[in-house]
């Protein structure tokens, strides 16, 4: 299995992990980012590239598609990260989205100027107009560097203020995005050297391996907060269920009303938090009516009631 297919599987795995939020909210920027980037990475695989490009006319239009999909994917990732961490951007929509539309508009221009050639997954150095070819590639590389650099900076700024699961997750996102910057610098140097052979050559970094590491870091980092949230929700539900059972037993022992309605207040079976609150009110009211000498609460019961009551207002 090629490295690009491994990267594709990692991205599609991230998309699969975001299906539930997508269904719940109707949209999910992380899902969109993973899908666009996943399709782009899949097309990079040589076998897939040849098949798709023949369908599209056999003139390397697939390369234009790869770059455009990657740019859109990074844009969605950029939007997801910034909306999760930083204050809302109040600038007009056209100004916020200008980097995306400008990039997508210029790509076809430099693609055509580079010259149409028969299907060849190797783009660099294979076109008549090498300067236009380099500019076409650099458009995507610069956009990726801009988006990842912005995400890394926002992570560095806001991560220390986050709670644990978000801090861990977005630290990984920031690290993955920061790792992308030397990768993009390496690839930009390579493009410049192809257009101008007298320019310094690339440094020889293992870009594909570093790309995969960056994708894994970002993917896992974006998955940690929602997974931790679901685990916390299940844990809270279990604690609530246990509290309902134990408080109900204390309530029954405290009220001990024969031949009448044992509930002083109506109950709502669809709202366990409200039910728990009402039972606590019933118990304290019964204790108040019974007086100190008539109390049926043990010290353990009273301590537990106070604990549940304090937690009920927070996360229980």
For residue 266, the model assigns a pLDDT of 47
Looking at the domain assignment, is residue 51 inside a domain? Answer: yes
CATH number, domain with residue 24: 1.20.1070
By CB neighbour count within 10 A (0-12 exposed, 13-18 middle, 19+ buried), where does 42 fall?
buried
- Asked if residues 53 and 238 have their Cβ atoms less than 8 Å apart, the reply is no
Q: Count CA within 13 A, CB hemisphere, residue 116.
A: 10
Model confidence, pTM? 0.76
Tell me how far apart the alpha carbons of residues 219 and 16 are, in angstroms, rounded to a whole number.
11
For residue 313, the model assigns a pLDDT of 67
User: Tens of pLDDT along 121-135?
Assistant: 888 777 788 899 999
User: What's the domain count of the chain?
Assistant: 2
DSSP per residue, 255-300:
H--SSS-S-SS---TT-HHHHHHHHHHHHHHHHHHHTTTT----HH
Average pLDDT over residues 218-240: 84
59 and 203 within one domain: yes
Please state, for a pLDDT cut of 70, what percent of the chain lies above it. Answer: 91
Give the pLDDT band of residue 33 (cuts 50, 70, 90).
very high
Tell me how far apart the alpha carbons of residues 144 and 71 are, in angstroms, rounded to a whole number.
7
169 and 29 within one domain: yes
> Domain boundary residue among 159, 184, 219?
219
* Whole-number Cα distances in Å, 54 to 68, 112, 120, 251, 279: 18, 18, 11, 74, 70
40 and 187 within one domain: yes
Structure-token match 């001990």, residue found = 256
Model confidence at 231: pLDDT above 80: yes
Query: Poorest-confidence range of 51-65, 121-135, 173-187?
Result: 121-135
User: Tens of pLDDT along 242-252?
Assistant: 888 888 888 88
97 and 202 within one domain: yes
User: Tens of pLDDT along 143-160?
Assistant: 999 999 999 999 998 888
User: Tens of pLDDT along 236-276?
Assistant: 888 888 888 888 888 888 876 433 344 544 455 567 888 88
Domain span at residue 191? 3-219
């Amino acid at each position: 299995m090629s490295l690009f297919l491994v990267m594709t599987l990692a991205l599609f795995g991230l998309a699969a992990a975001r299906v539930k939020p997508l269904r719940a909210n109707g949209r999910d920027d992380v899902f969109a980012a993973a899908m666009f980037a996943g399709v782009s990475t899949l097309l990079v695989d040589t076998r897939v590239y040849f098949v798709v490009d023949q369908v599209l006319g056999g003139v390397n239009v697939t390369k234009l598609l790869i770059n455009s999909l990657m740019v859109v994917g990074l844009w969605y990732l950029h939007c997801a990260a910034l909306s999760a961490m930083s204050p809302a951007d109040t600038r007009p929509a056209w100004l916020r989205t200008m980097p995306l539309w400008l990039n997508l508009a210029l790509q076809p221009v430099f693609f055509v100027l580079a010259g149409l050639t028969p299907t060849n997954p190797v783009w660099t150095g294979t076109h008549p107009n090498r300067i236009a070819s380099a500019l076409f590639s650099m458009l995507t590389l610069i956009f990726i560097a801009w988006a990842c650099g912005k995400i890394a900076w926002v992570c560095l700024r806001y991560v220390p203020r986050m709670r644990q699961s978000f801090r861990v997750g977005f630290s990984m996102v920031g690290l993955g995005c920061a790792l992308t910057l030397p990768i993009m610098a390496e690839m930009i140097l390579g493009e410049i050297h192809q257009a101008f052979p007298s320019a310094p050559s690339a440094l020889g970094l293992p870009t594909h391996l570093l790309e995969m590491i960056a994708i894994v870091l970002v993917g896992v980092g974006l998955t940690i907060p929602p997974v931790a949230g679901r685990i916390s929700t299940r844990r809270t539900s279990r604690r609530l269920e246990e509290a309902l059972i134990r408080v109900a037993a204390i309530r029954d022992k405290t009220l001990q009303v024969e031949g009448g309605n044992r509930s002083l207040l109506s109950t709502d079976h669809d709202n366990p938090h409200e039910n728990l609150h009402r039972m606590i009110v019933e118990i304290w009211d019964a204790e108040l009516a019974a007086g100190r000498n008539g109390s049926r609460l043990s010290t353990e019961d009273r301590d537990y009631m106070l604990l549940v009551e304090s937690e009920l207002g927070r996360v229980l």
